[in-house]
Every structure is written in structure tokens, then in C-alpha cells.
Amino acid sequence: MVDSRYSEASSNVILKKKRPIILIEIFRELGKSRNCLVTVAIGETHLQHWKQYALKSWMAYAEKYDLGIFALTNSIYHESDPSWKKPNWQKLLIGREMLKQGLDVKFACFLDTDILISSISPNIFDLYDGNSFGLVSQIKNMPMPLDLVLRQFVFLRNKFYDPKYPLDSGAMMTPKQQYEFSGLSPFDDLACTGLFLFNPSKSSMDMENWYFKYAKDYRSVTGGEQVHLNWEMLSTGEVQWLPYEFQAIWVYEMAWKYPFLYAQHGDKKLIRECIEASLFSNHFLHFAGSWHESDMWLDDQILDSNEKFDLFSSFNDYLCFPITGASKGMVKPQR
């Protein structure tokens, strides 16, 4: 639903209202690349979970590729302010706030706090063209049959988590159905907005305008900003689609590759090994959602052993090894 109060003039009036000082906390300073990872971590539990379970992997990645790490840790508007929206909407104001805070950012990658980064992940900014919004589709170019995976996780939740979990619900909506549910003209694609790349100097004003465009009683299947932000970004005609590996969805990964975890969801060691296996073949792993699968990243022993570190490090070295395909003859295992 579009806010009838919204216009360029009314936005300017709103912005002149007194509001709290914005605190974008700096966890790693910008390097020479001037690129950064940025997140929204509002609320003590949200912030502490990110710092305890995910930040370690972000920090290693940032050090490897000379990136800054910033987090919006305070709500930009108080809940009593008419401009307030849920924290997931406030990601749209991060570009504006970075500029106001004098952070000389070239390109930014927004990440939800529940994303783990593989230590052998390539630099996402090497793929980014800098002129568009970088997104990862949840619909197209998937490495698994999406229709089947959706049925798998719905069925397995019903079977092993809660027999009242519906077998047919909004979880099965097509992109067209999701856009139309929110009163928007449909596109045939949909990204998870837990990750997107943007150019702050080019797009911050547009993102700010989108924040104010929608009223608080907007309609959304998930209750979040995802469909609306997709619609705005796709409407610009300036979208760069990145490979699935840069935002592998754990719910899909688990249902497709590790369905046995539903019956063994109390086995933390087994879960950890499956998550590490997923990080071996994916770059960024997102634990999106609100069901039990989405809490499985809350384990500070993931990739914490020297053995796992050495395995990933050795494989990373091997990826740089030149391959010729030259025959070495018949090689058989020693008995």
C-alpha cells in the first residue's frame, strides 16, 4: 500500500524532525578497497547473536579482501515516530546514514546477521558492476528443483516438527502471487533481500524514498520488506543477478541435501558437520526464516576446529592450482 502522505516535500519535512543520533557502529575500518559489508543488528539479542556466531566469519572475509564492516545497531526512528518501520526496513536508510556519517564507501554489500561466510569464498565485489543492485534469485538458476525442495521442507516440517504445519500455505506462493498479494504488478523473479549490493553514492536517495513510500499497514506475505524492495529494485531496470552460491538458503540446502536432519534435529554435531559441508560448496549461507532450521547457525563451534580450517585452507590453495588435464595413467586405491 502506497502512503498517501508521501511526496518529495513531505519526505523533506519528515527528515527535519528531531530524531536520535544515528549510530553506525564500525567493526572494521574501511581499507583501500573502500568496499564494505553492512548489516542491521538492532536489539541486544540480535546484536549479540551476530557478534558471537557470525562476525568471526565476516571478519576473516573482510581481512582477506580489505573490506570495512559496519552495523546499524540502533533504530533510526523511535516506535512513536510516524516514520518508524520494523528494523528490516531500516536497511533502506543505511546508505544515507553512511554518507551522513562521512564514511567514504565505494560499494556496499548488505547482509542479514544470520549469514555465515565460507573462508574460501571469492570476493563478491569482484563480480559487482557498481552501477546496479546486485541480487541473488530465489527462483531462477537454482542448483536444485525448487518446486520439489519447497514440498520437501514443508512435508518434513509437518512430519518431524509440528503436525499442524500446513502442507499448502503462503510458503508455496509463486512470485506472481506474492507481488499481487502486496498490491504490486508482478515480476517473474524474486530475490531474498537478506543480501544485496549497492552503490551508496548512486542509490542511497532512491532507497530512502522507498522507505517513506509505503505506509505501516503494507501487505506482505512474510511481514517484511522483501517483496516491496524487490519490486522497487527490479523496477529500476538496473539489476545484476549473482550466482546462488553467494546466498545459499539453508532451508533449501537442508531439505535437498540433508533431509535426515529433520529427524535428528537435536544432534548438534551432525548439524554442524552438514553446515560446514554446505559452506564447502557455497560462499555465503543464509539461515533465513523463523523455524528451527533457521536457528542452527547459533553454534560457535562451526568451522572452529584446526582440522576444518586446514581442510578449507588446503582446498583454497588447490583452487589456485593450474589444471592441465594431462593423463597420469590408471590410478587405483592401495589395498
Domain positions in the chain:
8-318
What is the pLDDT of the chain when averaged over all its residues?
89
How would residue 21 be classed by pLDDT, with cut points 50, 70 and 90? Answer: low
CA angle 104, 109, 110 (to 5 degrees): 110
> Which one has a higher pLDDT value, 296 or 310?
296
CATH classification of 8-318 is 2.130.10.10, yes or no? no
Q: Does the pLDDT at position 283 exceed 60?
A: yes
DSSP assignments along 10-62, one per residue: HHHHHHTS--PPP-EEEEE---TT--EEEEE--SHHHHHHIIIIIHHHHHHHH
How would residue 203 be classed by pLDDT, with cut points 50, 70 and 90? Answer: very high
How would residue 11 be classed by pLDDT, with cut points 50, 70 and 90? Answer: very low
Which segments of the chain does DSSP mark as H helices, in order?
8-15, 44-49, 55-65, 94-100, 146-160, 175-181, 200-213, 226-235, 250-257, 268-281, 306-319
SS3 68: strand
Q: Does the pLDDT at position 71 exceed 60?
A: yes
Q: Does the pLDDT at position 27 exceed 90?
A: yes
Q: How far apart are CA 19 and CA 16, in angstroms?
A: 9
Q: Does the pLDDT at position 316 exceed 90?
A: no
Q: Which three cell numbers stand for residue 297?
A: 547457525
SS3 70: strand
Other beta carbons less than 10 A from residue 318's beta carbon: 10
Q: Which three cell numbers stand for residue 4?
A: 498517501
Q: How far apart are CA 274 and CA 116, in angstroms?
A: 13
pLDDT at 80: 80
Other beta carbons less than 10 A from residue 189's beta carbon: 16
